[in-house]
Amino acid sequence: MPPLDQERLSDLTLLRSSESTYPDSPEEAQLETFENRYPERDYWVTFDCPEFTARCPVTNQPDFGHVRIRYIPGQRCIESKSLKLYLFAYRNHNTFHEEAVNRIMDDIVAACSPRDIVVTGEFNPRGGISISVEACGGQASPK
């Protein structure tokens, strides 16, 4: 594998920063990407966020869940620190579970155009009902 090329990584401003500024909303968050050195190969990248939090748009109560993102990169890959800050931005964001999962998928697709993607949210019970949401794009989309 070739050595790391600093010019290739120059766009990764969040990873280079010694301090983390937490965005207040997903709109303010920035998903950073880097060049995929193996774009001709199909391989899955999986991110787990077992402590995902958002707020109910009606009651403003916190909703807790586990978000899992799996994708096959195209030309670009998502940088993990920027993803962490992006997901953290939901903490004070009012949204339904279905909207959060689909928006996460849409924002990742916009950032890096993966060949395939599945975003799953397993949300803790509220009122005796848990909710599971799965959004798929690319080859994983149901036909």
Q: Is 5 one of the annotated active-site residues of the chain?
A: no
Q: How far apart are CA 31 and CA 116, in angstroms?
A: 18
Task: Determine which one of 63, 77, 107, 112 is catalytic.
Answer: 63
Token digits of residue 2? 């070739």
β-pairing, 62-72 with 76-78? unpaired
What are φ and ψ of residue 118, in 5° steps? -135, 125
Q: How far is CA 140 from CA 17, 118, 134, in A?
A: 35, 7, 11
Q: How far apart are CA 66 and CA 138, in angstroms?
A: 22
Q: Is 77 one of the annotated active-site residues of the chain?
A: no
Task: Determine which one of 56, 106, 116, 136 is catalytic.
Answer: 56
Residues marked active site are found at 56, 63
